[in-house]
Amino acid sequence: MKPDRGDFRRRFVRNKLAVIGALVVLGLAVVAVAAPIIAPYDPETPHLDQVLQPPSWNHLCGTDRLGRDVFSRMVYGARISLLVGFVAVGISTLIGLLMGALAGYFGRWVDSLIMRFVDLMLCFPSFFLILAVIAMFPPSIFLIMAVIGVTGWMSVARLIRAEFLTLKERDFVMAARSIGAGNTRIIFRHLLPNAMAPVLVSATLGVAAAILVESALSFLGLGVQPPTPSWGNILKDGQAMMENAPWMSIFPGLAILITVMGYNLLGEGIRDALDPRLRD
């Protein structure tokens, strides 16, 4: 039996690490939405008279080799990272829900066909598959989001399939069939709402993974292209300046670390709060 909302809330709040993760995620969302208000400078405008200034009250995270304020670029970079994370996870979740639902509900040859395709997709290392696809086309944030989403749905499909295999034998599904409910109604009205708990956890953890992938692609020069700021290309700019301007690498690296840690803590907290085995 799944926990009710009050039970979920109580056990989630008791998990201090989960609360910290939720606060980090909420704080990042506020920063991304309020970027024009929070950022003190235009993130793309160079100031050649302020090149490589160390952190100070005027430039909290210093400036880069073109005199651009690193803090302002990081604030706007949060928008890119969160946008990529949410859109990519949305795409992968939708595909995974559809494929897993079809496999788990209909079974037989439908299940075999879909799960063999899942196994085939899992044979390819996801990051290298993403690199191969992106290298064939001009870099674009929309392409990045689509490719990350299309290559990351397999775990969601497996989760939904496993839930459907269990749920479709329950009494409420039998009752729905007995009154003439069609397959579409049973899948979307009765089964999916009861199978979403593990998907919510997977989606939360998936945002962190998508942000890491986008940062890695931008660091390699295949992601978001300058002058548009993202944490990955800010980190790339700082790579050659580690000795003279270490702040260019330290601050975006910390931003990526804190963001990924926040989403992982939140995802694990949701998982623990939804786990009926951990009830008091």
Please tell me the distance from the alpha carbon of residue 69 to that of residue 95, in angstroms, as a whole number.
39
pLDDT of residue 2: 47
What pLDDT sits at residue 6? 67
pLDDT of residue 1: 43
Cβ 19 vs Cβ 203: under 8 Å: no
Distance CA 11, CA 271 (A): 11
HSE-CB at 154 with a 13 A cutoff on CA atoms is: 16
Q: Where are the domains of the chain?
A: 5-41+61-278
Instruction: Write the DSSP string, the chain.
Output: ----HHHHHHHHHH-HHHHHHHHHHHHHHHHHHTHHHH-SS-TT---GGGTTPPS-SSSTT-B-TT--BHHHHHHHHHHHHHHHHHHHHHHHHHHHHHHHHHHHHH-HHHHHHHHHHHHHHHHS-HHHHHHHHHHTS---HHHHHHHHHHTS-HHHHHHHHHHHHHHTTSHHHHHHHHTT--HHHIIIIIIGGGSHHHHHHHHHHHHHHHHHHHHHHHHTTSSSPTTS--HHHHHHHHHTTTTT-THHHHHHHHHHHHHHHHHHHHHHHHHHHH-GGG--
Fold assignment, 5-41+61-278:
MetI-like fold (1.10.3720)
CA atoms of 80 and 39, how far apart (whole Å): 15
pLDDT confidence of residue 277: 53
Q: Residues 86-123: pLDDT tens digits?
A: 999 999 999 999 999 888 888 788 889 999 998 888 88
Below-50 pLDDT ranges, the chain: 1-3, 279-280
The pLDDT value given to residue 5: 64
Alpha-carbon gap, residue 212 to 149, rounded angstroms: 13
- Give the pLDDT of residue 276: 53
